[in-house]
Structure 1
């Protein structure tokens, strides 16, 4: 990210901290869709993804006063998102879905994560990503859906940028191998 872009983003967040509604609107426009895509790719249910992404956005905005933005402010949003998805998955494991909501639980409908992938292609990619380790999933989604740098991904995962690049590469290799097996 260019230094001027980062400076502009920080200025918008400073305005939002002071209660500027227009700044909040700009932040929403810039960050809600990537947050939703991240959540949807991690949990796979449209309705729950929308609800969780809204909660994440609200929580991230509520913490805007205490957040320090030494690097890109998007780190705060993805940090809240990652923790929220982890909590959602932890809670979800404890509850077996009933027969009535089994279809929603395994909802494989197309999402908006990548406008170039439609229907079955998107479902196949999402299912393939789910076969990766949690860290590989995060690294691949942060890099290729969230457009985060390896440095930002590393910061979110608590690892070095080099380790983040290795996770991204390993995730892509795993995806390639899984897809190869599917098409053999």
Structure 2
């Protein structure tokens, strides 16, 4: 949680306050961006660009103090959309005579795809509630309190459900793997 004092000092350019804001928001912001782009390098670039823009907004008094992380996620989504538009507009020129089919499919990519499909099929075997809690907590990076509000349960119930869902997922992966 970003303190009002850190927020005020960051507006004034205090590096320690800016660092505190970065420490508090980095992990959930990076997870959110990575979930959207599915590429580590691109997620890191977008995260960095998001910090530059949001801190500029903050120092110009254009950033909200309430739900600053939500504001940062909105900025990151706009950056992602801009990048997609630029890629779409620029296009890619491909010379099909120079392509070697054996080199086009990377073994690591095949393994990543296979692992994702394997994990997706294992997740599908969990109950809807377990899937939702794992999605909110692990994939989307929501806190226990935020998840509890969204699913209408207590924080303790969310922690218990998450633990049980992870145990069930581990059993499924062991049985199938």
Q: TM-score, normalised by structure 2?
A: 0.54
Q: What is the alpha-carbon distance in structure 2 between the residues aligned to residue 78 and residue 108 of structure 1?
A: 28
Of 105, 118, 124 in structure 1, the residue corresponding to residue 116 of structure 2 is 124
Show the counterpart of 2:53.
59
Q: What does residue range 13-32 of structure 1 map to in structure 2 within 5 Å?
A: 13-32=7-26
The gaps in structure 2 that reach 5 residues or longer are 121-133, 152-175
Q: What does residue range 87-126 of structure 1 map to in structure 2 within 5 Å?
A: 87-94=82-89, 95-96=91-92, 108=109, 120=112, 124=116
Q: What is the alpha-carbon distance in structure 2 between the residues aligned to residue 97 and residue 46 of structure 1?
A: 24
Higher helix share: 2
Between the two proteins, the alignment pairs up a number of residues equal to 131
Q: What does residue range 101-180 of structure 1 map to in structure 2 within 5 Å?
A: 108=109, 120=112, 124=116, 144=138, 145-147=140-142, 149=146
Q: TM-score, normalised by structure 1?
A: 0.52
The gaps in structure 1 that reach 5 residues or longer are 1-5, 110-118, 129-139, 151-160, 166-182
Deviations 1:75-128 (A, max 9, x none): 21111112112222222233237569x779xx859xxxxxxxxx8599617x96
Structure with max Cα Rg: 2
Q: What is the alpha-carbon distance in structure 2 between the residues aligned to residue 88 and residue 121 of structure 1?
A: 24
Change (3 A) 1:39 1:122: farther
